[in-house]
Amino acid sequence: MKGRAGVVLLLTALAACARGGPVPSFATKPFEPFNRTDAVAIALREWRLFGQPVEDAPPSARPRPQPNEKAERLPGLWQRVGEYWWIGLGAESPDALWTGKHDQNGKVFPASKDGDYAWSAAFISYVMRIAGAGERFPYAADHAAYVNAAAAGKSPILRAERPESYAPKLGDLICNGRKWAAGLRFADLPTRDYWPGHCAIVAALAPGELSAIGGNVNDEVAMTHVPVTEAGMLARADGTVVDSRVPWLVVLEVLYDAEAEPAADE
């Protein structure tokens, strides 16, 4: 009987891995409703873990840390980045075996190649999954996937909102295009193809400013203070983005449990 019990336990463990790995029960079958307070608290917890860095300089002006000083490669933190990949995307994802400094084979990749293992979307996916979004959030290794899902009405808990007509709330996501996608505008969404971007979760609101937390900002989880209009918008009525550093493209309103509605028919 002991041998049979061992086989059963092994099969159970393998089945759990096949379902997506060791995601906590409180996230897969939420103990609490999916809510803004928890999502923000989780993002703030991760920010504190990385030492509460604030990155308000323009992205191009941020001094790059030396390879051996990159937070994502430090003891205790490279493992945490690995948890963003594993839990955020699920073990079935080909990227789920990455960490802050290892590839899928467990080999250390050069610090100069970390752009090939960018984890900012994995961080957002992690926050949403741990907060209890379940299967309703389009978890992905790139932000474009869930921005496009929201813009196409294919997510029951995401709405794409114009930055000049919607004031972000706590727990919402603000997103921008990067590199060659910096010229994207709301009218371009949804796109047919991938584009490089970044999203951060709104963690605090104040007159004329909001605070957003994002992953892989200068290789760490960091807070950025973002200027807004008097009404709390990222852009003025004519569409001009208030923030001179970042071309904010879209706000993803997250419909937490009390606000969720069925997704539009595809």
pLDDT tens for each residue of 165-188: 999 999 999 999 999 999 999 999
Structural domain of 144:
32-254
The pLDDT value recorded for residue 65 is 78
Does 261 map to a domain? Answer: no
Q: The tokens of 229 are what?
A: 């209009």
Does 24 map to a domain? Answer: no
Burial class of residue 168 in the structure, from the number of CB atoms within 10 Å of its CB (0-12 exposed, 13-18 middle, 19+ buried): buried
Q: Does pTM surpass 0.95?
A: no
Does 25 map to a domain? Answer: no
- Residue burial 116-143, b: 16+ Cβ < 10 Å; e: rest: ebbbbbbbbbbbbbbbbbeebbbbbbbb
Contact of 11 with 103, CB cutoff 8 Å: no
Does 55 map to a domain? Answer: yes
Does 83 map to a domain? Answer: yes
pLDDT digits (tens, 9 = 90+) for 58-112: 877 777 778 778 999 999 999 999 999 999 998 788 899 999 999 999 999 999 9
Does 3 map to a domain? Answer: no
The pLDDT value recorded for residue 61 is 73
Report the C-alpha gap between 220 and 205 in whole angstroms.
22
Does 207 map to a domain? Answer: yes
Contacts of 205 (CB under 8 A, 6+ apart): 168, 169, 170, 211, 232
User: From first to last of its 266 residues, what are the pLDDT tens digits of the chain?
Assistant: 344 433 333 333 333 444 445 688 888 888 899 999 999 999 999 999 999 999 998 877 777 778 778 999 999 999 999 999 999 998 788 899 999 999 999 999 999 999 999 999 999 999 999 999 999 999 999 999 999 999 999 999 999 999 999 999 999 999 999 999 999 999 999 999 999 999 999 999 999 999 999 999 999 999 999 999 999 999 999 999 999 999 999 999 999 997 755 444 43
Contact of 164 with 235, CB cutoff 8 Å: yes
Report the C-alpha gap between 80 and 221 in whole angstroms.
11
Does 39 map to a domain? Answer: yes
Question: Mean pLDDT across the chain, nearest whole number?
Answer: 88
The pLDDT value recorded for residue 4 is 42
Residue 175 pairs in a beta bridge with 199, 250
CA nearest neighbour of 233 among 222, 221, 243 = 243
The pLDDT value recorded for residue 58 is 81
The pLDDT value recorded for residue 260 is 58
The pLDDT value recorded for residue 90 is 87
The pLDDT value recorded for residue 266 is 36
Tally the domains of the chain: 1
